Amino acid sequence: MEDKISRVLKNMKEAGLSQLIVADPKSIRYLTGVYVDPYERLFALLVKADGKHVLFLNNLFTISETDIEKVWYSDTDDSIGMIAEHLDDGRLGIDKVWAARFLIPLMERCRNIQVELGSDCVDDCRAIKDDKEIELMKKASEINDKVVHDAYEYIKVGMTEKEVAEFINKHFVEEGAEGPSFTTIVSFGANGADPHHEPDGTVLKEGDAIVIDQGCYYKGYASDMTRSSICGEPSDPDYAKVHDLVREANEKAESIIKPGVRLCDIDAAARDMITEAGYGPYFNHRLGHFIGQTDHEKGDVSSANTDTVKPGMIFSIEPGIYLPGRFGVRVEDLVLVTEDGCEILNHEDKHWKSVGV
């Protein structure tokens, strides 16, 4: 645990910050091992350069052991005032998720403090996984591979998207996961042209394209993968061509990942292929996102991100082509950056196959 706080302190030093309020419960768990869902109540970790870190909690929270100094407050206490007593004048880093109902009263009370966004100090640490985190994320992806494979065996003409999504969610738990890490996407036919379609009562017909985008939590860490296939033979004459293009764009991007490569160049590797084939306007999202304790974390694989890749990063590679009124194809893996390249965490076959008949 201490190692993670040391990394945060190093980032704070570089940012010129000597005090930082961390409020994201998953960041607090990452730094202290203590996890609480505070609902509307205040829950915050004050990280200080002098090592006098303080955890502020409501006295109804139940927590695990931690060495960090704690300040307990009750529902009728002035909890903001209790935090203010621990702050120094000058700059104060604030977590991007800290609610305005806490931040604004604190700012009104502490006129000699200048607040600024400070969550990068923690988020940049969270982006680089340690061995234990890598092990958990590999297991989460292993379960994800197994469940999508089983889902493609289960799926049959006449089933609804909802039925298939329920099968996936149930099987995550049967395979040892806590459950889905985001709303499972199952799209049939033209529904696949909406990248974030939510499963509904749409019934699977022969010739329909199928998009399944799913992920689960294993011991607090997420997986995320998309596979696209077809029910029987494709009813759309362009399906096979478009699927091959998306898969090749996915493989091309994955092939260039290694430490030192810029994230925008990985995005370009996939996007240029799709654009050259004339489908550029139909690939309307970034290539990927970072992932860890939540499905989407700080960091993305996009044309705007000139940061370079470092060992221990885990992010998605998910090109897609969405043809309104017709179908959609997305092929997504998680990749782990290694010392000299990358390891793809998903092993389920990416080629389109005929299922459900």
Nearer Cβ to Mn ion (293/316): 316
Min dist. Cβ of residue 28 to Mn ion (A): 25
Nearer Cβ to Mn ion (234/288): 288
CA dist., res. 315 & res. 292, Å (int)? 9
* Residue ranges with strand state E in 59-169: 69-73, 90-94, 113-117
Nearer Cβ to Mn ion (9/211): 211
Show the tokens assigned to 226. Answer: 């998309």
CA angle 286, 288, 291 (to 5 degrees): 140
Packing angle of the helix pair 161-174, 131-154 (nearest 10 deg): 140
Residue 144 touching Mn ion (CB under 5 A): no
CA dist., res. 357 & res. 354, Å (int)? 8
Sign of torsion over alpha carbons 252, 334, 232, 190: negative
Nearer Cβ to Mn ion (19/316): 316
Region of 53 please: left (phi>0), alpha (psi -120 to 50) or beta: beta
Min dist. Cβ of residue 191 to Mn ion (A): 18
Show the tokens assigned to 174. Answer: 């049967």
Min dist. Cβ of residue 225 to Mn ion (A): 8
Min dist. Cβ of residue 216 to Mn ion (A): 13
Residue 184 touching Mn ion (CB under 5 A): no
Residue 224 touching Mn ion (CB under 5 A): yes
Question: What is the x/- site pattern for Mn ion, positions 311-340, by CB under 5 A?
Answer: -----x------------------------
> Cα Rg for the chain, rounded, in angstroms?
23
Show the tokens assigned to 329. Answer: 């194809």
Give the range of 78-86, 87-95, 104-112, 224-232 binding Mn ion by CB under 5 A.
224-232
Min dist. Cβ of residue 230 to Mn ion (A): 21
Nearer Cβ to Mn ion (202/226): 226
Q: How many residues contact Mn ion, by CB under 5 A? A: 2
Min dist. Cβ of residue 157 to Mn ion (A): 28
Query: Contact at 8 Å (CB) between 162 and 201?
Result: yes
Min dist. Cβ of residue 316 to Mn ion (A): 4
Question: What is the x/- site pattern for Mn ion, positions 259-298, by CB under 5 A?
Answer: ----------------------------------------
Which of 140, 42, 144, 142 shows the shortest CA–CA distance to 99?
42
Name the site residues for Mn ion (rule: CB under 5 A): 224, 316
